[in-house]
Structure 1
């Protein structure tokens, strides 16, 4: 089985066999991401994409805050279907993209790219560089990129998979060609299992 097929199979099984509260990364309300987005004071019709957000509640809260140009990308069709069910009629207001991010071919330029807990699953240099290339081609000049990933004091594995840990310095270096790092801070995520995971949140702007 090719690696991308294995990855899709893995995440389809996760979102078939586990409820929201049975995955460590679940947030009832993604307050940190919402606070960062609010601080940007973006127009309500700004094009926003949530990467790996198939079962995140971020888009639900953005809809409640009157944002109206929203997209969700996820490799798992099961995750997307779960969120469609939660949103009900409001699901029609969202563009749903079932794709591995590494195969994503953007058809529009985004003004905000949000990624909480997808990027750190890439452990091969070629995949990391491909992600960065797709990101750069997907955003307008001056657009924002919010990245939340495991910090150097965070987990070394998640959902049974190896991950890559990051420091602000490492991320700044990775994205330096096209992006300026505006803000970086650590945040402890309390899992549904009452354990803790150390994340690092980063706000970049495209040059």
Structure 2
């Protein structure tokens, strides 16, 4: 399955500092994951067929434009979290008045306690950074606290032919079935993927799943 290399931030403080440094002082096109239109994410959110009043959570949002597009589609209860305050400030400025109701919060997905249950959990490229079993366990605990019993999860990672690292950190690559198998108590509803073209023209294979919580 994965190809993992050693050194990496392994506590909340070092993770926060790392991702703040990734975003600070850079343009959006300086990061490999940038997309003006997050087509894969929108495809799977659409497949969940949620009403526009349903609460949606985007974890590890960074500079993602997902909330922008969901606002345009009429969704009214949106929350995005990230470890980088700089990234979230950029999103706030970009959204302008149309995004006044969007909650943008600095938070760690490995210890997430928002005091609210969501109808859909969205993660594009956070889970694949979790190279240790205890990190994946903490992530799943955060998801369980945050997601309704019948809620949906959209999770995307690098696929089996994707890069071995992202933003200088080791990652875990997954096939669709390997990724779905990480989520005990969730039903696999559909799979998808894309060959994402970075701002500098290289290609990254992404694997994505739509899950529904049943446990």
Band the TM-score falls in, shorter-chain normalisation = over 0.9
Counterpart residue number, 2:33 = 25
Aligned counterpart in structure 1 of residue 194 of structure 2, from 175, 187, 190: 187
Counterpart residue number, 2:18 = 10
Unaligned 5+ residue runs, structure 2? 1-8
Aligned counterpart in structure 2 of residue 99 of structure 1, from 107, 117, 120: 107
Counterpart residue number, 1:125 = 133
Q: Secondary structure at the match of 2:116?
A: coil
Alignment of 1:19-168 (within 5 A): 19-168=27-176
Q: Secondary structure at the match of 2:23?
A: helix
**Paired residues, what number?**
206
**Conservation of the 8 A alpha-carbon contact between 2:129 and 2:171:** yes
**Range with greater deviation from structure 2 (62-71 or 166-175):** 166-175
Distance 1:56 1:139 in 2: 21
**Range with greater deviation from structure 2 (32-41 or 194-203):** 32-41
Greater percentage in helix: 1
- Alpha-carbon RMSD across the aligned residues, in angstroms, is 1.4
Counterpart residue number, 1:204 = 211
**Conservation of the 8 A alpha-carbon contact between 2:92 and 2:99:** yes
Runs of 4+ in 1 over 6 A off after TM superposition: none
**Conservation of the 8 A alpha-carbon contact between 2:68 and 2:99:** no
TM-score (norm 1): 0.95
RCO higher in structure (CA 8 A, sep ≥6): 2
* Deviation at residue 2 of structure 1 after TM alignment: 6.5
* Deviation at residue 104 of structure 1 after TM alignment: 1.1
Distance 2:179 2:195 in 1: 19
TM-score (norm 2): 0.91
* Deviation at residue 54 of structure 1 after TM alignment: 2.8
